[in-house]
């Protein structure tokens, strides 16, 4: 015997609203919160590393050809 | 996906295999099957018959033949990558084999199979060309030798006739101050996966001068080939850092570079120059 969706008890749903003060929107991540910031952290690190070359922006994904192209574009 | 129906033949000698190919014009040779079977399962290619040479004895060895080493049709990538004779005389090929596919592919796929398949982004063809290898083909009509530089004709097209079997690849043994190297950018970064671009270099030194060389590229055009301008520029030079850099700068010349998902024409030309320089630098270091 395995419990299924039909075996769920009745429950009431409430929300708690506690805005964070560490960002302008007051929003927090839920679920896979750890993955939310990682991509932009890495992209920002790459843009920071390339800043001396004049690069201000790189679109994801950071494929080698995209990073190379961003450097070429900054040279022009 | 399942392949379309096909006849399967497992001959026990090269003569039998050649006869089977001659009798079945729609037949295809299979060694490891790592390239052929996926094509058949995706139904991109549906041969009427498959001639499996996997049970033919005598094709699975790497032999010392005096002036050259011979790599048999059933020698797996793993063996090419780890064999001491290949390491000594054909280092570029060993490196290329070590970065072919993944562990499972290297344990099953064959070096000669990779040659015959002639994928534009395969690693080992560049090594074969740079090392001046010779492909030995057998059919019921006899035996034929094809220089590696003439073997790759177009995308997935080698110089083999439909009734010919690539039975072995021969690589000249190195004599004295020679060195070779292969380097690439893989599609998944580093050396992983097919080459976005790769270069193999072979050089021979004498009294401080480079007296002979070959630089070959893969992944950038419809077939691997010699970087003629780079090769011409490095021969006769002292192999200094400046000489290598100047020679590598011309690497993309003469290639009709094809853009794909992994790189624009400009990016691939850039990679050709970078990897030609790296392969030449390492080959010269090994030449001593």
Encode pLDDT of B57-71 as tens digits: 999 999 999 999 999
Computed over every residue of chain B, the mean pLDDT equals 97
| pLDDT for the residue A29 | 80
Q: Is the CB of B267 less than 8 angstroms away from the CB of A63?
A: no
The pLDDT of residue A36: 80
Written as one string, the DSSP assignment of B188-232 is: TSTT-SSEEEEEEEEEEEETTEEEEEEEEEESSSSS-EE-HHHHH
The pLDDT tens digits of the residues spanning B260-282 come to: 999 999 999 999 999 999 999 99
| Alpha-carbon gap: B196 to the closest alpha carbon of chain A (Å) | 10
Percent of chain B residues topping a pLDDT of 90: 98
Taking a C-beta distance cutoff of 8 angstroms, is the pair A68, B270 a contact? yes
Strands (E), chain B: 7-9, 27-30, 49-52, 62-64, 68-72, 134-139, 142-147, 152-154, 157-158, 165-172, 178-186, 195-206, 209-218, 225-226
Backbone angles phi, psi at B68, to 5 degrees: -150, 165
pLDDT digits 0-9 by tens, B130-147: 999 999 999 999 999 999
| Contacts (Cβ under 8 Å, ≥6 apart) of B250 | B227, B229, B230, B233
Confidence of residue B20 (pLDDT cuts 50, 70, 90): very high
| Contact call for A69 and B189, based on CB within 8 A | no
Residue of B nearest to A66 (CA): B263
pTM (two decimals)? 0.90
Query: What is the pLDDT at residue B26?
Result: 92
Q: Which of B129, B119, B130 minimizes the C-alpha distance to B219?
A: B119
Q: What is the pLDDT of residue B281?
A: 98
The pLDDT, as a whole number, for residue B245 is 98
> In chain A, which residues have pLDDT < 50?
none
Predicted confidence (pLDDT) per residue in B176-220, tens digit? 899 999 999 999 989 999 999 999 999 999 999 999 999 999 999
Residue B237 neighbours by CB under 8 Å, 6+ apart: B209, B210, B243, B247
Structure confidence at residue B216 (pLDDT): 98
Q: How many CB pairs under 8 A join A and B?
A: 16
Q: What does the pLDDT average to over B143-159? A: 97
Residue B254's pLDDT is: 96
Q: What is the pLDDT of residue A16?
A: 86
Contact at CB, A72 and B264, closer than 8 angstroms: no
- The pLDDT value given to residue B137: 98
């Amino acid at each position: 015997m395995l419990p299924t969706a039909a075996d769920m008890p009745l429950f009431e749903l409430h929300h708690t609203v506690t805005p964070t003060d560490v960002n302008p929107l007051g929003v927090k991540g839920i679920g896979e919160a750890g993955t939310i910031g990682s991509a932009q952290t890495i992209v920002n690190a790459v843009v920071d590393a390339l800043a001396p070359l004049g690069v201000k922006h790189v679109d994801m994904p950071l494929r080698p050809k995209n990073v190379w192209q961003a450097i070429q574009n900054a040279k022009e | 996906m399942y392949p379309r129906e096909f006849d399967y033949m497992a001959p026990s000698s090269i003569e039998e295999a050649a006869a089977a190919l001659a009798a079945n014009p729609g037949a295809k040779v299979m060694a490891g099957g790592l390239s052929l079977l996926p094509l058949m399962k995706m139904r991109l290619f549906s041969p009427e018959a498959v001639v499996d040479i996997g049970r033919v004895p005598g094709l699975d060895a790497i032999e010392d033949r005096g002036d050259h080493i011979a790599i048999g049709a059933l020698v797996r990538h793993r063996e090419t990558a780890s064999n001491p004779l290949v390491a000594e005389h054909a280092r570029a090929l060993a490196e290329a084999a070590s970065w072919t596919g993944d562990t499972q592919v290297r344990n099953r796929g064959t070096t000669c199979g990779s040659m015959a398949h002639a994928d534009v982004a395969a690693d080992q063809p560049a090594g074969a060309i740079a090392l001046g290898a010779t492909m030995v083909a057998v059919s019921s009509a006899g035996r034929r030798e094809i220089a590696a530089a003439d073997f790759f004709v177009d995308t997935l097209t080698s110089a083999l006739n439909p009734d010919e079997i690539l039975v072995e690849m021969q690589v000249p043994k190195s004599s004295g101050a020679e060195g070779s190297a292969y380097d690439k950018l893989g599609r998944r970064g580093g050396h992983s996966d097919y080459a976005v671009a790769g270069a193999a270099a072979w050089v021979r030194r004498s009294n401080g001068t480079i007296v002979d060389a070959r630089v070959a590229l893969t992944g950038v055009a419809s077939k691997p080939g010699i970087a003629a301008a780079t090769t011409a520029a490095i021969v006769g030079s002292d192999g200094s850092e400046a000489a290598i850099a100047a020679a590598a700068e011309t690497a993309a010349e003469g290639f009709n570079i094809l853009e794909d998902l992994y790189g624009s024409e400009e990016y691939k030309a850039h990679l050709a120059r970078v990897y030609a320089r790296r392969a030449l630098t390492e080959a010269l270091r090994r030449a001593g």
